[in-house]
Homo-oligomer: A and B are copies of this chain.
Amino acid sequence: MLKATIDADMFREAIEAISALIPECRLHTDESGFSTRAVDTANVAMISLTLRKEAFDTYKATKSQLGIDLMKMKNIFGMADKGDLISIEMADNAQKMSVSVHGYHYSITLLDTNTIRKDPNPPTINLPGKIVIKGEDLNNAMKAAAVISDKIALGINPKDQTFYLVAEGDTDHIRREFTKDELVSLTPAEARSLFSLDYLKDMGKVMSKAEQVEIFLGIDHPVRFSFDIAGGNGHVEYLLAPRIEAD
């Protein structure tokens, strides 16, 4: 059973954070809120998202799993205006979800959760370097690098106490160094790994709205991005596998 109302913008924020990586997901509901964990088809990126019941205006749910077509959700909620309230309702074991917004009543058929990949186990990785940065600064760096190349190295220079991003194109090169002053905080540790900008551009767009993003880095290890959504009542973690440095 599920019966909840939520601000259209907050729900859209959560949907967009997930749909940056995957077109459909298995959404877990229980009395504490919504959550999902999924890897993309190429097994390169993972998202963990929670949307706590405090993000909702009203919330009541029993333990369940919903198969969500994220593209369809984006199209439907693209119609909602800022400030609109979305009401979601579902009976036990129902195949359909009732959604009401701004006088419109939708009956949306859910995906069969058996057709959606099993939830991945969260890997235990030790990433010693940590940066806290404004989401907008991070996204701008991704956009600038994407003009030059399709991959980017993220690293920490412990001596200079800087966080750097370097992208090498066929003929050109871009480097951005953030000093401690430009960051919210920096936990220095030798760190440098190479990543695909295809993924980082999509993640960057989502993270650009976050006041602060925590970045965890190691040497030739995955990167973890961690940030709040829904006014602090939701949380997202992106994990992205490194690429091999080819030189």
Contact = CB atoms under 8 A, between A and B. Distances in A.
A105 to B, nearest CB: 5
Contacts of A172: 72, 106-109
A105 B174 contact: yes
Contacts of A177: 103, 105
A176 B103 contact: yes
A76 B177 CA distance: 17
Contacts of A175: 104-107
Contact count band on A: 20 to 34
A92 to B, nearest CB: 20
A108 B182 CA distance: 25
Nearest to A166: B105
Interface of A: 72, 75-76, 78-79, 103-109, 140-141, 143-144, 147-148, 171-178, 182
